[in-house]
């Protein structure tokens, strides 16, 4: 079973970093839900390093910010 603390730590780190870079993004922006889903899926797939999960999340958010990119996961 996946340790939820690893996913939670990665989510907090990635979302915090993203919001530092993008200060106009609201704490409750829909991208946070999408990010959480992605991180939890990767965690359940076996990635157990919170740093790797956070980096994967930040890369994903950067892709979402590209013009023409859907916000769906």
22-61 pLDDT tens trace: 999 999 999 999 999 999 999 999 999 999 999 999 999 9
Per the model's pLDDT, the better-predicted residue between 13 and 4 turns out to be 13
pLDDT tops 80 at residue 73? no
Q: Rounded to whole angstroms, how far apart are CA atoms 73 and 68?
A: 14
Closest CA to 11 of 66, 34, 1: 34
Residue 25 contacts residue 19 (beta carbons within 8 Å): yes
Domain locations in the chain? 4-64
Model confidence at 1: pLDDT above 50: no
Strands (E), 1-73: none
The predicted-structure confidence for 50-59, as pLDDT tens digits, reads as follows 999 999 999 9
> Whole-angstrom Cα distance, residue 34 to residue 16?
15
More confident residue, 22 or 71: 22
């Amino acid at each position: 079973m996946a340790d939820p603390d690893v996913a939670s730590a990665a989510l907090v780190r990635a979302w915090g970093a993203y919001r530092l870079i993008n200060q106009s993004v609201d704490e409750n922006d829909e991208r946070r839900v999408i990010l959480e889903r992605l991180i939890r899926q990767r965690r359940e797939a076996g990635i157990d390093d919170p740093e790797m999960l956070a980096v994967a999340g930040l890369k994903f958010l950067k892709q979402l910010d590209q013009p023409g990119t859907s916000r769906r996961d």
